[in-house]
Amino acid sequence: MDAWQKQLAAAITEPGEISARFGVDVEPLREVVARYPLRITPHYLSLIEAPGDPIWRQCIPDPQELSDHRQAPDPLNEEGLSPVPGLIHRYPDRVVLLVSNACAVYCRFCMRKRQVGCGSRNTNRAAALDYIAKTPAIRDVILSGGDPLLLSDDELADILSRLRTIPHVEMIRIGSRVPVTLPSRITSRLCRLLKRFHPLYLNTHFNHPRELTPHAAAACGRLADAGIPLGNQTVLLKGVNDDPAVMKRLMQGLLAIRVRPYYIHQLDLVRGTGHFRTGVRRGLEIMEGLRGYTSGLATPYYVIDLPGGKGKVPLLPDNGEWRGNRLLLRNYHGECIEYEDLG
């Protein structure tokens, strides 16, 4: 068993382990975990300094997850945009292929909270690959899940090899949080495997400066040394990173480990995540705290992924039209979409 598999096997999955370690009441945790599963690797658990801190909030179940009824399980209409199970075709030239239903840590703000870790995913991989092969407009395939890097090396190589036999697939992207939560997964063998399939890009997911550990930096260094361009997608989270100074430290720290800040996401309107929500105006204040105060390389796009699968829209302090708590935004189709700011 590899070191990363031992870490995964040692992950906390039972509320009683949290109660014993931190002295918190176990019953509220059990109620949440009965609906939304728990998993925390020893590495990520070691980053918690105190209950309620930015790392705790991201991984420890919270009873507020069960009292959020205002938002939708699938606000981005991923299931409606799936021509075959496990494939999301939202934009004309790219698709998301869901290859895993598991993560090393189950983030409490997950955009696929309804699915990830909740039993088997209804994915027809053969049909998804056949759809990609028969759709010449698709030039970009994004592997997501769950976390694609929790697959075995052999299974991952099989998927990548099959995609590389499709002539019109020009590039492959992988979305993975394991450089943050399970950095030992980024082995030299894995990097040699990924290097065979260029052009291949990897977007990871750091949300707080304390996640930029030496182990995470080493994992990103191995990927970068394999020629894999690294980007980062941060989610704006209340009580975690909704502060201009914290966000600036995170973005600067990412560049120091050769990861380019790509997106700051306004939290999707996913049921069970409302306690993490900040207002859009706060996100714009954070962008104002980055622009001009640090390198342009450290200034990502701040985006809203519009409900209903209408696509991502970048926000700047001076764009969009406010109507009370509603923001009127224009998407890439030229449609004007009204976005309700629930923060």
Residue-wise pLDDT for 96-144, tens only, equals 999 999 999 999 999 999 988 876 556 789 999 999 999 999 999 999 9
Known catalytic residue at 53 = no
Report which residue type is found at 114.
Answer: R
Active site residue 30: no
Q: Which pLDDT score, from 0 to 100, does residue 2 have? A: 93
Residue 80: how many other CB atoms lie within 10 Å: 11
Closest by alpha carbon to 311, among 280, 336, 274, 341? 336
Active-site hit among 94, 114, 210, 271:
94
pLDDT at 83: 97
Q: Residues 271-296: pLDDT tens digits? A: 999 999 999 999 999 999 998 899 99
Contacts of 318 (CB under 8 A, 6+ apart): none
CA pseudo-torsion sign 31, 32, 37, 42: negative
| CB-CB neighbours of 42 under 10 Å | 13
Active site residue 25: no
What value does the mean pLDDT of the chain take?
Answer: 94
Residue 237 phi/psi, 5-degree rounding, is -130, 130
Residue-range domain boundaries for the chain: 3-313
For the chain, what percent of residues have pLDDT higher than 90? 85
Given the residues 106, 108, 110, 242, select the one marked as catalytic.
110
Q: For this structure, is 36 an active site residue?
A: no
Torsion, Cα of 59, 102, 177, 264 (10° steps): -70
271 classed as catalytic = no
Q: What's the pLDDT score for residue 9? A: 97
Q: Is position 108 annotated as part of the catalytic site?
A: no
The phi-psi region of residue 226 (left if phi > 0; otherwise alpha if psi is between -120 and 50; otherwise beta) is: alpha
Is 312 known to be catalytic?
Answer: yes
Q: Where is average pLDDT lowest: 24-33, 215-224, 310-319? A: 310-319
Please tell me the predicted confidence (pLDDT) of residue 167: 98
Average pLDDT over residues 191-199: 98
Q: What is the pLDDT, as a whole number, of residue 208?
A: 98
Judge contact between 263 and 71, C-beta under 8 A.
no
Q: Which of 56, 53, 60, 6 is nearest to 29 (CA)?
A: 60
191 catalytic? Reply is no
Check: CB of residue 168 under 8 Å from CB of residue 95.
Answer: no
Among 9-23, 197-211, 312-326, where is mean pLDDT lowest?
Answer: 312-326
**Residue 338 predicted with pLDDT over 90:** no
Q: How far is CA 110 from CA 5, 22, 265, 270, in A?
A: 23, 24, 12, 8
Residue 319 — very low, low, confident or very high, per pLDDT cuts 50/70/90? Answer: low
Q: Under CATH, what is the fold of the domain 3-313? A: TIM Barrel (3.20.20)
Q: What is the pLDDT of residues 255-270, one digit of tens each?
A: 999 999 999 999 999 9
Catalytic residue, from 103, 191, 220, 302: name it. Answer: 103
Range of weakest confidence among 73-77, 203-207, 338-342: 338-342
Confidence band for 212, pLDDT divided at 50, 70 and 90:
very high
